[in-house]
Amino acid sequence: MQGLMMQLPLLISGLIAHADRNHGDITIVSRLAEDPHGPLHRTTWRETHRRARQLANALAHLSVRQGDRVATLAWNTHRHLELYYAVAGSGAVCHTVNPRLFDDQIAWILAHADAQVLFFDATFADIVARIAHKLPQVTHFVQMTGREHLPAKFPRELLAYEDLVHRHSEHYAWPQLDENTASSLCYTSGTTGNPKGVLYSHRSTVLHAYACALPDSFGICARDTVMPVVPMYHVNAWGLPYIAALTGARLVLPGPLLDGASLHRLIVDEGVSFSNGVPTVWAGLLQHLAQQGGGLGRLRRLAIGGSACPPAMAESFARHGVEVLRTWGMTELSPIGTVNVPRADEATLAPERREVQGLTQGRPLPGVELAILDDDGQALPHDGESFGELVVRAPWSLRQYYGREEGDGFTADGWFRTGDVATIDAGGYMHITDRAKDVIKSGGEWISSIELENILASHPAVAEAAAVAVPHPKWDERPLMAVVLKPGAGLDRNAMRAFYDGKIAHWWLPDDLVVVDEIPHTATGKINKLALRERFRTYRWQSQPVTVTQPR
Amino acid sequence: MQGLMMQLPLLISGLIAHADRNHGDITIVSRLAEDPHGPLHRTTWRETHRRARQLANALAHLSVRQGDRVATLAWNTHRHLELYYAVAGSGAVCHTVNPRLFDDQIAWILAHADAQVLFFDATFADIVARIAHKLPQVTHFVQMTGREHLPAKFPRELLAYEDLVHRHSEHYAWPQLDENTASSLCYTSGTTGNPKGVLYSHRSTVLHAYACALPDSFGICARDTVMPVVPMYHVNAWGLPYIAALTGARLVLPGPLLDGASLHRLIVDEGVSFSNGVPTVWAGLLQHLAQQGGGLGRLRRLAIGGSACPPAMAESFARHGVEVLRTWGMTELSPIGTVNVPRADEATLAPERREVQGLTQGRPLPGVELAILDDDGQALPHDGESFGELVVRAPWSLRQYYGREEGDGFTADGWFRTGDVATIDAGGYMHITDRAKDVIKSGGEWISSIELENILASHPAVAEAAAVAVPHPKWDERPLMAVVLKPGAGLDRNAMRAFYDGKIAHWWLPDDLVVVDEIPHTATGKINKLALRERFRTYRWQSQPVTVTQPR
Ligand SMILES: Nc1ncnc2c1ncn2[C@@H]1O[C@H](COP(=O)(O)OP(=O)(O)OP(=O)(O)O)[C@@H](O)[C@H]1O
Ligand SMILES: Nc1ncnc2c1ncn2[C@@H]1O[C@H](COP(=O)(O)OP(=O)(O)OP(=O)(O)O)[C@@H](O)[C@H]1O
Ligand SMILES: [Mg+2]
Ligand SMILES: [Mg+2]
């Protein structure tokens, strides 16, 4: 028997309509991509909704039909926000592309997705000009500025965003789509290989927004001022553009300026209370504060994920009165899977238990199911000790990659295989020890590269550290640390090993370190292990080997 | 084009499984219906899940099939909680019935719903024994106790709940139902006429739980201790049994003891941080505190709805450090539609604006759309002034009453007609002035009975006040106040009118008052206006009429 409740689809257009009706006059602040150092642009939810409707009419005029891919190469700005709602709201697919990828990768992704219209910030006009000849399927190029900013020369016909908006009526009724309609498309970071496409739906996006706004997730309410520092070109800025509309929060969009000083100014001037980002971005902010001084204004919570947040980073923010929410997510998961917040029994936990829990990636959002599997695909116990490949199910998890075969990346019974290696404890706390591909296999046993990196990151001489598996004659692989030192600081092998001593099992001790000028990062700010492994593939271990005594 | 996301249904079984996996050892405290003054019963989410699975096997054994109605007449206890999950989880319909109704009403509802199994607390064995002969369709009667508490005599075969649980295996796999499957059935309070059935679905229940847990709704997290005082026999205790599982909160179930002293003890002893209820229940608690003294422990938020919360009540709780969340809901809405929390612009609001906003029923939860219609069904502006019938749409609103015709109670375009009269302001704040049926129509204009009641409730001599429309020779209807005085206090017509003077338009001034011993309440604790109207239908106005000068 079916219930007798209204069959209203969960739609992205419903979010912006809700914000308009109930928070219409609430401010959205944005840096302009074409003039990042100029005055901040200020608009409202009502105005954003109005311009999104104009844009929806414009898209129809450009012959964009339901299901068509409309691509963006753009920063976090009010125009990108309008596109999010206009494209998905009208039934097309908002295909965000990471402009920090190489030209070839961008062209490949746009071709793979068969994008028909490409919107881009003035900042990226050069990239688009260079690859335009590889994009025969793109019928319209739109620069996200007024007409006066269009480049003098461009290889294809070029439209101005503001013209499109102004030429069209604000009268537009959002279609009542099936909630499983595709809404947006994003490719993974390409950290471990070629980027893979994830095709979100309206339903998955809206459910993810509800779950992420919960008190034990990001905990966002109408009194928050939310600044997405995670780019809108990557996994929808973790859903913050939707969550802000759902909750009626103020929104601050930082545009292209993501350096410590620029973020600091926005946080303080605009009273940002919540933000999110990968550890490397926040390292920049902390460095700025260390050098220039200053506080963090009304900032209270910071969701950090994408890579493991080093404990030292969370401690620094705590000293500024900011709580770090450790978050684990994946493009495939919309992206949020877990957030680290305390449970009901927190007050009665033993301090060391609380500390261990505090360093994990947290508990699954309601709706997310996690399991860990051994090499034979058998479920491992949730005892905080056993580790294996993390698999996941959720209404906001993909069930198939875009343009790939069904089953590719999934268990036989349909769980998504994350490629991450993790433990789960009895309280549901999940701890990532590594990516399966980054794990260091010494004498058949696994060493966690993340743990090695986190420890060394807290050494006073170290600015950044990466653990790399390097082939070893006796143990197959042994850990080598690539280290960027702080200005004027020094660190050698023995001092490093002494620092590790007592903090980890003896046989985990990295055998050596190499001081480097810079650790390579991917386009989404993660340590590029592929590049590091390649660089150190032929590393010659010191003639005098380290004594390793492994269990078993 | 469809998105490529997992098609996982939103199911009630998913909530309890989530609580088990991530909050399995968190405590659920319950008074026992059969021994309310005895020791508190303590269990956990894991144990609740286990017993719910045993019960699901027991239901199958009793030949309960998907879609069958399993009725309950029960207090808020751990067993009722188990039934919520066992019945709905296995695909049957958990039909909660209000035991405070008259025998005939209970029998009528059970017959209308065609309930096949009836679970009841020992407290209600007498009711069931009296009406059993009217329930031929009920094949199994189960008293929610152990065998030792079964009554010596009962007109039908009677099973003991604990036997059912213990005789069955805990191995049970929740079926993967369509999320639109009916999950539970509840009838409206019958305040304005006969109760009407609302058939909830898994989808509507789970979406309602997400929305209610949000920071701007009830704001519930895993560190909360949640005590549903709203009965589980009425609108699923506003969803708290689901919300607590979703968030992993501790749960305190007060059983049959809802008097001020008993609630106070539980709040303090168990560290309740969140509770909900109708104003009359909380009046009892405040009265107890006024007489006995004492604080409210860790209680921080109290959701009050079902009837308007008098400002004086919210102020009393504020003095105890408890924030009152004014809430408007309806059985038809699962039930929550609005909650009063501030918006982003709160800090900059003029104090009088903030005060007006603070007294409204609040903003719609994300997902809820509100509109107000004039007598011709035309939408009225959201200006905080225009008032008309409130209509609503939401994924957790009914689309048709159970066993009634389609369209009955809905606008032509499918909005649910609430029967409430309200204003909505530009910030989305909705204010109920009356029920359409309670409105006092004086010379063609409407007087808000709620406003008259709220004002008089703050008079030091008044314990409770009700405004009734009484036929009037000149004005059609005029307001008469029925008043319960505090012990030893006095109030006459002139003193009352002087108290109102300046607080409302002159022509709203109630013409007279009648001091009564008690104001009649319905089975869900609302003022019984039907009974009051009936009682004062032939009220003789004083010979010297009040001078009324009305606009228009
Ligand atoms: N809090 C975290 N701690 C450790 N690792 C994290 C955390 N959050 C995310 N990650 C890592 O990031 C991955 C998801 O990143 P993303 O979807 O951006 O692409 P990617 O996995 O880096 O790239 P690709 O899948 O193309 O190789 C996770 O699988 C995990 O390895
Ligand atoms: N915060 C509130 N302020 C004023 N009235 C409220 C509030 N919350 C609920 N109500 C009233 O309660 C009604 C919903 O109550 P419920 O669904 O329990 O049944 P009922 O309307 O009292 O009974 P019936 O529909 O059978 O006449 C609303 O329509 C509204 O009139
Ligand atoms: Mg990946
Ligand atoms: Mg009603």
User: B432-455: per-residue pLDDT in tens?
Assistant: 999 999 999 998 888 999 999 999
Mean pLDDT, all residues of chain B: 95
Same domain, B390 and B265: no
Q: How large is the average pLDDT for residues A262-273? A: 98
Q: Which of B414, B435, B456 is the last residue of a domain?
A: B435
Residue type, A30: S
Other beta carbons within 10 angstroms of residue B406's beta carbon come to 11
Task: Give, for B88, the enclosing helix (H) or strand (E).
Answer: helix B78-89
CA distance A3 to chain B (A): 4
Q: How large is the average pLDDT for residues B18-31? A: 97
Q: A398 φ, ψ to 5°?
A: -65, 155
Q: Which of B254, B256, B86, B247 is nearest to B161 (CA)?
A: B86
DSSP string, B250-261: EEEE-BT--SHH
Cβ proximity of B115 and B137 under 8 Å: yes
Give the residue whose CA is nearest to atom 9 of ligand 1: A306
Cβ proximity of A60 and A30 under 8 Å: no
Structural domain count of chain B: 3
- Decide if B501 touches A, using CB distance below 8 A: no
Domain membership of residue B362 (yes or no) is no
| Protein residues with CB under 6 Å of any ligand 2 atom | B 188-193, 195, 305-308, 326-331, 361, 418-420, 432, 435, 524, 526
Domain membership of residue B333 (yes or no) is no
Neighbouring residues of B352: CB distance < 8 A, sequence distance ≥ 6? none
Q: How confident is the model at residue A21 (pLDDT cuts 50, 70, 90)?
A: very high
Cβ proximity of B393 and B414 under 8 Å: yes
Angle at alpha carbon of residue A202, lines to A200 and A203, rounded to 5°: 100
Chain B residue whose CA is closest to A2:
B181
pLDDT single digits (tens) B77-106: 999 999 999 999 999 999 999 999 999 999
Domain membership of residue A488 (yes or no) is yes
Binary contact (A428, B201; C-beta < 8 A): no
Q: How large is the average pLDDT for residues A544-552? A: 54
Q: Which of B318, B352, B378 is the last residue of a domain?
A: B318
Cβ-based contacts of B199 with chain A (< 8 Å): 1, 3-5
Task: Give, for B58, the enclosing helix (H) or strand (E).
Answer: helix B45-61
**Angle, nearest 10°, between helix axes B240-247 and B202-213?**
70
Same domain, B421 and B472: no
Domain membership of residue B545 (yes or no) is no
Q: What is the CATH number of the domain that holds A387?
A: 2.30.38.10
Binary contact (A67, B364; C-beta < 8 A): no
User: Computed from CA positions of residues A310, A311, A313, A317, in that sequence, does the dihedral angle turn out positive or negative?
Assistant: positive
Domain membership of residue A159 (yes or no) is yes
Domain membership of residue B149 (yes or no) is yes
Q: B384 φ, ψ to 5°?
A: 80, 0
Binary contact (A21, B428; C-beta < 8 A): yes
Cβ proximity of A502 and A509 under 8 Å: no
Same domain, A455 and A389: no
- Decide if A274 touches B, using CB distance below 8 A: no
Q: What is the CATH number of the domain that holds A497?
A: 3.30.300.30
Residue type, A206: V
Q: In this model, does residue A551 exceed pLDDT 70?
A: no
Neighbouring residues of B20: CB distance < 8 A, sequence distance ≥ 6? B45, B46, B49
Same domain, B446 and B425: no
Q: What is the CATH number of the domain that holds B66?
A: 3.40.50.12780
Domain membership of residue B55 (yes or no) is yes
Same domain, B246 and B394: no
What is the pLDDT, as a whole number, of residue A27?
A: 97
Q: In this model, does residue B34 exceed pLDDT 50?
A: yes
Q: How large is the average pLDDT for residues A179-206? A: 95
Same domain, A398 and A312: no
Give the residue whose CA is nearest to atom 28 of ligand 1: A330
Q: How confident is the model at residue A343 (pLDDT cuts 50, 70, 90)?
A: confident
What are the structure tokens assigned to A119, written together? 């919107």
How far apart are the C-alpha atoms of B419 and B152, rounded to whole Å? 47
Per-residue b/e over B227-264, b at no fewer than 16 CB within 10 Å?
Answer: bbbbbbbbbbbbbbbbbbbbbbbbbbbbbbebebebbb
Q: How large is the average pLDDT for residues B236-245? A: 98
Which comes out higher in pLDDT, residue B191 or A226?
A226
Residues in chain A: 552
How far apart are the C-alpha atoms of B264 and A185, rounded to whole Å? 53
The SS3 assignment for B110 reads: helix
Q: Which of B418, B421, B443, B440 is nearest to B430 (CA)?
A: B421
pLDDT single digits (tens) A314-342: 999 999 999 999 999 999 999 999 999 98
Which residues are paired to A480 by β-bridges? Answer: A468, A512
Cβ proximity of B234 and B185 under 8 Å: no
How far apart are the C-alpha atoms of A441 and A313, rounded to whole Å? 28
pLDDT single digits (tens) B307-341: 999 999 999 999 999 999 999 999 999 999 999 99
Same domain, A70 and A106: yes
What is the pLDDT, as a whole number, of residue B549?
A: 58
Cβ proximity of B333 and B251 under 8 Å: no
What is the pLDDT, as a whole number, of residue A234?
A: 94
Same domain, A266 and A413: no
Mean pLDDT, all residues of chain A: 95
The SS3 assignment for A202 reads: helix
Cβ proximity of A264 and A219 under 8 Å: no
Same domain, B415 and B518: no
Structural domain of B264: 12-318
Q: Which of B15, B25, B41 is nearest to B254 (CA)?
A: B41
Q: A139 φ, ψ to 5°?
A: -90, -25
How far apart are the C-alpha atoms of B372 and A325, rounded to whole Å? 41
Same domain, B78 and B144: yes
How far apart are the C-alpha atoms of B31 and B252, rounded to whole Å? 8
CA distance B75 to chain A (A): 24
Same domain, A404 and A309: no
Domain membership of residue B62 (yes or no) is yes
- Decide if A188 touches B, using CB distance below 8 A: no
Tell me the HSE value of B391 on the side-chain side, using a 13 A CA sphere: 20
Residue linked to tokens 């509309």: A245
Cβ proximity of B68 and B93 under 8 Å: yes
How far apart are the C-alpha atoms of A524 and B119, rounded to whole Å? 57
Same domain, A245 and A376: no
DSSP string, A211-249: HHHSTTTT---TT-EEEE-S-TTSHHHHTHHHHHHHHT-
Q: In this model, does residue A552 exceed pLDDT 50?
A: no
Tell me the HSE value of B102 on the side-chain side, using a 13 A CA sphere: 7
What are the structure tokens assigned to B191, written together? 């305040």
Q: Which of A214, A210, A209, A223 is nearest to A300 (CA)?
A: A223
